[in-house]
């Protein structure tokens, strides 16, 4: 290691070298040296997390032009990604797979050595004239069995600022690392910038994941989902670690739901982007613990979970004062918030779906914007991007859960899986058992893709557990691990399938309002605590009408009719049978698919056929028997 330190000393100013030399882990030092020698920055800033350094990063994000503070609300800044870098890029995000190894054919991948050669070639001299910032952080609460040390070398002050809102500072944790510590590492460069400080060579955008070394390489991009290595990019690495060690790394929100007599019950939920996950996590009157990522472990026989992050990188489209009063208030109050890819006019922020008139011109990700402006392909440019975001610390929210930094996590009582299913599943149902829930609601999660994925909006796909893009092991092995996880639990969480997007087949209109999700999760809170009974249907256990009526009245002040209940909870046999065939076809193409998947699906098919024989194709919920 002395040779590495000597080389680093030659590249670093004395003050920066002193901070770095206190870290004794060779892997950390070698990665920083590789980053410097590859990217050739003019200087290097080692962040040791002092208040002055954090203030310097925030200031440099503005001085560099990557962010602007030209907003009326104190503490608010805005950032624009390039017009061609507005979401996760499936095409250019690849696993680097060594010769002799193989991942699912559904995952984007390439041979490791060729991929490393390409991406390091693109990173070569990419930081010339710029500063490399080195951030040390932890995924999960500090001093916890859940915590994973991670680091990023980047030339983006915006990235360096964003991670301070999203993750726990980790320099002190890195000082304690032993030589065998497992570390996640990211090297990112925005590359050559244009006059608007956005990545110029978007056609050479690459996001490559080398899982053999727990490393991410990202170049010629700025969108946080591509440039911040600790979100979905690191998730791909953590899934391998979790599989090896027998726990779960998940695309989960975590929420504490208040019940009778002052109790609070915790739920996790997996939803694809744009399908209601953040709005479920932010239900008014409840407690938010996480909106995106969670680690789940068996702690002394209890299923316990933590938020990987400590902030929110949330989709801002459709946030309005009626549907999202809590986050609306936060977004219009003084405090540290970074907006990205919204419209700026008169020092104010504007976005699609805010339920007010949007200006006809202003500044957005395309530069000066005006109504009717078109891009190079002739498509009209919206005032703000559909995938526009806000970044804010969870502790800025008045309903942030008190257990956010609990090193032991919180006890999970329920898990939700939900997507955009216009045709089949009812709004809420409980699985018959753990394996049924994992398969029928998780491994069979079918959804319409959204604007959070570049070029994929409006297509239907199976997205297992809402994590399929990120699974860096065979998908069958991932589900097998999920099913097995419950074996050693003293009490497993109940699993629920939710569907906020069911439509009336005759009118094509939604059968749920945006606010109904609060009713479904309040019912789940009662259910996991044994306070309500259920009806047994072929696809799961559904609520009784008489249990939902008082919830609608109390929470939404709405009279809930039995006609609404009947439409929402009618079992659509043909649609559900077709869904089973699509899911089976999907899993028949996968290697290592556990037999439990086909067993659960065949059992559900048999139940549906028996119900059809008895009641017909469309079965009203009142036809099904009630049980405890």
Q: At what angle do helices 51-63 and 157-166 cross, to 10 degrees?
A: 130
Of the listed 39, 47, 150, 275, which one is catalytic?
275
14 token code pair: 């004395």
Rounded Cα–Cα distance for residues 414 and 429 (Å): 12
- The strand pairing partners of 535, in sequence order, are 542, 626
**CA–CA distance from 611 to each of 425, 496, 567, 599, 622 (Å)?**
16, 21, 18, 18, 13
Chain centroid, CA 593 distance in Å: 25
Contacts of 368 (CB under 8 A, 6+ apart): 361, 362
Asked if residue 327 lies in contact with residue 282, where contact means CB atoms within 8 angstroms, the answer is yes
Active-site residue, 39 included: no
Q: Is 422 helix (H, G, I), strand (E, B) or coil?
A: coil
Tell the residue number behind the tokens 């497993």, with chain if given.
Answer: 492
**CA–CA distance from 190 to each of 11, 154, 529, 560 (Å)?**
21, 8, 50, 52
**CA–CA distance from 568 to each of 255, 298, 414, 419, 563 (Å)?**
25, 36, 22, 16, 9
Tell how strand 93-97 and strand 294-299 pair up: unpaired
Closest CA to 72 of 355, 344, 313: 344
Rounded Cα–Cα distance for residues 202 and 5 (Å): 35
Asked if residue 481 lies in contact with residue 598, where contact means CB atoms within 8 angstroms, the answer is no
> Cα dihedral sign for 486, 487, 488, 490?
positive
Active site residues: 275
């Amino acid at each position: 290691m002395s040779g590495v330190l000597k080389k680093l000393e030659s590249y670093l100013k004395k003050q920066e070298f002193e901070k770095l030399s206190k870290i004794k882990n060779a892997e950390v030092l070698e990665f920083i040296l590789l980053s410097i020698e590859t990217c050739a920055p003019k200087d290097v800033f080692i962040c040791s997390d002092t208040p002055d350094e954090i203030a310097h990063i925030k200031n440099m994000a503005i001085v560099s032009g990557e962010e602007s503070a030209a907003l009326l609300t104190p503490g608010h800044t805005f950032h624009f990604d390039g017009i061609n870098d507005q979401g996760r890029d499936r095409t250019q995000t690849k696993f680097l797979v060594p010769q002799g190894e193989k991942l699912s054919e559904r995952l984007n991948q390439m041979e490791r050595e060729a991929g490393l050669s390409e991406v390091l070639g693109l990173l070569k001299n990419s930081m010339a004239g710029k500063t490399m910032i080195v951030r040390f952080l932890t995924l999960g609460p500090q001093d916890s069995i859940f915590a994973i040390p991670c680091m990023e070398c980047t030339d983006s002050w915006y990235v360096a600022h964003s991670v301070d809102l999203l993750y726990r500072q980790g320099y002190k944790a890195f000082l304690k690392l032993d030589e065998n510590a497992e570390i996640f590492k990211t090297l990112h460069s925005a590359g050559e910038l244009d006059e608007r400080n956005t990545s110029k060579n978007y056609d050479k955008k690459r996001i490559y994941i080398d899982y053999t070394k727990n490393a991410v390489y990202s170049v010629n991009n700025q969108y946080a989902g591509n440039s911040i290595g600790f979100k979905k990019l690191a998730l791909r690495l953590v899934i391998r670690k979790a599989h090896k060690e027998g726990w779960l790394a998940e695309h989960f929100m975590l929420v504490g739901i208040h019940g009778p007599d002052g109790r609070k019950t915790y739920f996790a939920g997996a939803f694809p982007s744009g399908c209601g996950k953040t709005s479920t996590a932010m239900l008014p009157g409840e407690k938010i613990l996480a909106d995106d990522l969670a680690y789940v472990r068996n702690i002394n026989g209890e299923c316990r979970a933590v938020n990987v992050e400590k902030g929110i990188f949330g989709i801002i489209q459709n946030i309005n004062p009626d549907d999202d009063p809590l986050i609306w208030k936060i977004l219009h109050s003084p405090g540290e918030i970074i907006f990205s890819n919204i419209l700026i006019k008169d020092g104010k922020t504007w976005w699609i779906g805010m339920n007010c008139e949007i200006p006809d011109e202003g500044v957005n990700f395309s530069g000066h914007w005006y109504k009717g402006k078109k891009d190079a392909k002739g498509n009209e440019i919206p005032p703000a991007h559909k995938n526009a975001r806000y970044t804010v610390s969870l502790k800025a929210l008045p309903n942030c859960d008190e257990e956010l930094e609990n090193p032991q996590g919180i006890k999970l009582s329920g898990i939700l899986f939900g997507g955009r299913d216009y045709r089949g599943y009812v709004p809420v149902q409980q699985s018959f058992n753990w394996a049924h829930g994992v398969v029928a609601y998780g491994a069979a999660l079918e959804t319409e893709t959204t604007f959070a994925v570049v070029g994929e909006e409006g297509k239907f796909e199976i997205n297992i557990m809402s994590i399929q893009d990120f699974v860096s092991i065979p998908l069958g092995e991932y589900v097998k691990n999920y099913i097995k996880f419950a074996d050693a639990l003293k009490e497993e969480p109940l699993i629920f399938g939710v569907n906020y997007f069911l439509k009336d087949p005759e009118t094509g209109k939604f059968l749920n309002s945006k606010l109904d999700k609060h009713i479904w999760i309040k019912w789940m809170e009662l259910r996991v605590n044994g306070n309500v009974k259920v009806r047994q249907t072929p696809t799961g256990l559904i609520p009784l009408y008489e249990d939902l009526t008082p919830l609608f009245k109390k929470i939404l002040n709405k009279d809930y009719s039995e006609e609404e209940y009947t439409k929402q909870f009618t079992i659509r046999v043909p649609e559900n049978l077709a869904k089973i065939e699509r899911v089976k076809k999907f899993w028949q193409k996968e290697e290592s698919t556990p037999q439990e998947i086909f067993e659960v699906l065949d059992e559900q098919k048999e139940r549906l056929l028996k119900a059809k024989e008895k009641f017909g194709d469309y079965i009203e919920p009142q036809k099904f028997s009630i049980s405890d």
